[in-house]
Amino acid sequence: MSYTKPLPAIDNWNRPFWDATREQRLVAQACEPCGTVFFPPGPVCPHCLSAKLSWKQLSGRGTVESWVVFHQVYYKGFADEMPYNVAMIRLDEGARMLSNVVVPNDSLHADMRVEVVFAPATEELSIPKFRPLTPGEG
């Protein structure tokens, strides 16, 4: 079975992120002068505008801040997953990321603690998604 959903356009800015996901690691850019961790990647820090950036290994844990549940098929590849959620995850390191939470949509809630899981899309690409942490996991 082939992957039928849209795939990201990989470029020089985001290649380290996608290379890490292939290795089942979550990374984001970090500003060396001020310490801000941010996503998506870019040429300068969104906080202090420094161009002194590096890639930081993240814990993969975070909190659901908000979400939407899609009931309309905009891309054929999502038809079998209808309805599906897209959530705003605040990672523990401070960056925010849009992703899916692999949980029944009616059990999503604000402040839900989650951790990253990686869904293979192609031989070269894995998509980061999130699953709920059980109480006591963090």
- 26 domain-assigned: yes
Q: Which domain holds residue 85?
A: 15-132
> How many structural domains compose the chain?
1
Local confidence band at 2 (pLDDT 50, 70, 90 cut-offs): confident
Residue 41 lies in a domain: yes
Residue 2 lies in a domain: no
User: Is the pLDDT confidence value at 79 over 80?
Assistant: yes
Q: Is residue 34 part of a domain?
A: yes
Nearest to 84 by CA among 99, 67, 71: 71
Tens-place pLDDT, residues 21-74: 999 999 999 999 999 999 999 999 999 999 999 999 999 999 999 999 999 999
Q: pLDDT averaged over the chain?
A: 95
Asked, for residue 7, whether it belongs to a domain, the answer is no
Q: Is residue 4 a part of any domain in this protein?
A: no
Please choose, from the candidates 91, 44, 104, 41, the residue with its C-alpha nearest in 3D space to the C-alpha of residue 65: 91
DSSP 37-62: EESS--SS-TTT----EEEEE---EE
What token pair was written down for 117? 């899981």
